[in-house]
Amino acid sequence: MPDLPPDILTEASSLLDALLTAAESVYGPRDAGFDIVGIDQHDDGPRIIVDNYAVTVTVGPNAVGYAPTLLANLAHETIHLLNPVADHASQLEEGAAVHFELQQVAFRHGASESSNHRNILLPTYAAALEDFEALLSCNASAPRTIRDQFGSLSGLTVDQICSVVPDLEQGVLVRLARKCRPR
């Protein structure tokens, strides 16, 4: 995988630290059993690569030339760094990742830029975001409560999610619990 240019790597490392702090303040502490060993760029990014307990954050090819995309890639992957999984994350976790990504882009680059990112979401990400926003509308603290009670936003059953958000529509609960295959 190609290395990021040194100036971009420095910016990305600093951003990732700030994003982890922000994510942990909302969703709770990350699993410290995993070491974040690097940030790189690859054509199939953004994603995280989990190798035992070592995690590499990979940004996509457009992140190198456009600061809002670098931020969006890192913010999205930050949520996956809270509890890294080698397989696909749940729709709940993907929805949280997209939600956090758009919040951070709006915060740092403005609502218009965030709207641009929302408009180009893959359909699976848009659906995950919609279901996550439905969960938030029922209980804004549900993601933190779920992580506090069950340790992760992935690998959950419908019943586990329902125990935190009992008023959420059954179809949304089912979708949030399943694995999300974004690409």
Spatial strand order of the sheet with 47-51 comes to 35-41, 54-59, 47-51
Q: Residue 178 has what pLDDT?
A: 95
Q: How far apart are CA 61 and CA 170, in angstroms?
A: 38
Q: List, for residues 71-80, the tens digit of each pLDDT value.
A: 999 999 999 9
Tokens of 75: 């913010």
Q: List, for residues 29-78, the tens digit of each pLDDT value.
A: 999 999 999 999 999 999 999 999 999 999 999 998 899 999 999 999 99
Q: List, for residues 117-133, the tens digit of each pLDDT value.
A: 999 999 999 999 999 99
Instruction: Look up residue 19 and give its DSSP letter.
Output: H
Could you tell me if residue 1 is inside a domain? no
Could you tell me if residue 59 is inside a domain? yes
Could you tell me if residue 158 is inside a domain? yes
Could you tell me if residue 167 is inside a domain? yes
| Amino acid at position 36, single letter | I
Model pTM?
A: 0.95
How many separate domains does the chain show? 1
Q: Residue 1 has what pLDDT?
A: 59
Give the domain range for residue 127.
6-177
Instruction: Look up residue 179 and give its DSSP letter.
Output: B
Handedness of CA 152, 144, 67, 118 (dihedral sign): positive
Could you tell me if residue 182 is inside a domain? no
> Looking at the predicted structure, is the pLDDT value of residue 156 above 90?
yes
Instruction: Look up residue 141 and give its DSSP letter.
Output: T
| Amino acid at position 34, single letter | F
Contact 141, 107 (CB under 8 A): no
